[in-house]
A and B are shown apart, each in its own frame.
Chain A
Amino acid sequence: SQQGEEDPQALSIQEGENATMNCSYKTSINNLQWYRQNSGRGLVHLILIRSNEREKHSGRLRVTLDTSKKSSSLLITASRAADTASYFCATGLMDSNYQLIWGAGTKLIIKP
């Protein structure tokens, strides 16, 4: 079964607005990663946050991690049409140094 669950499953917003996606997980993690996937393409790594970190920024992306609630959020500020994609969270497990467990993703649509 999948570890991560993204919320919402789908999100449609106007260009320029901020988009927030959430991820919940079940077991102890070493790190949590967010990836983007354009339709029919491979996954592109966005950002990695380790279990001892609470917040991380990369350009217009802001990721938070709350290990007590086993949840993470991805915020995309000032959204652009090119941000339209599916976004996945993947957790690196504490007892595994290689395997990532994935959620089903959030489909984000940015309307021009």
Chain B
Amino acid sequence: DTGVSQNPRHKITKRGQNVTFRCDPISEHNRLYWYRQTLGQGPEFLTYFQNEAQLEKSRLLSDRFSAERPKGSFSTLEIQRTEQGDSAMYLCASSLVQGRTEAFFGQGTRLTVV
């Protein structure tokens, strides 16, 4: 399968714990995006990478959130000191730099903070 892969699919954690999610984009895609989606809502943009450079970070993203894409391939999203309000689906997407701009999404990681 050469689509976008996210791990884990589900994560349950206690409030205050740190969690890390991984995204493996489509191999030839330079752009990688992280979104958060809560029930009944559309995705909210969190951050964007072009290759290994993090070019934009949403104002919604508190200092507890950090994302990396060390070699311009896979990316990780870490949430420190999780809060119940962090419970959501975290979606990763990738796309090509040039040409068509549709994004290809992974299946998401559903985070539940208890």
Contacts and interface: CB of A to CB of B under 8 A. Distances in A.
Tell whether A and B belong to one assembly: yes
Interface of A: 2, 4, 30-31, 33, 35, 40-45, 48, 88, 90, 92, 97-105
Contacts, number: 60
Interface string B82-114: 000000010101000000111111111010000
A41 B107 contact: yes
A31 B104 CA distance: 16
Nearest to A3: B42
A88 B105 CA distance: 13
A108 B4 CA distance: 25
Main secondary structure on B side of the interface with A: strand
Contact of B56 (A4, A48, A99, A101): A99
Contact of A43 (B50, B91, B101): B91
Contact of B102 (A4, A33, A41, A103): A33
Contacts of A88: 42-43
A105 B101 contact: no
Contact of A103 (B4, B42, B103, B110): B42
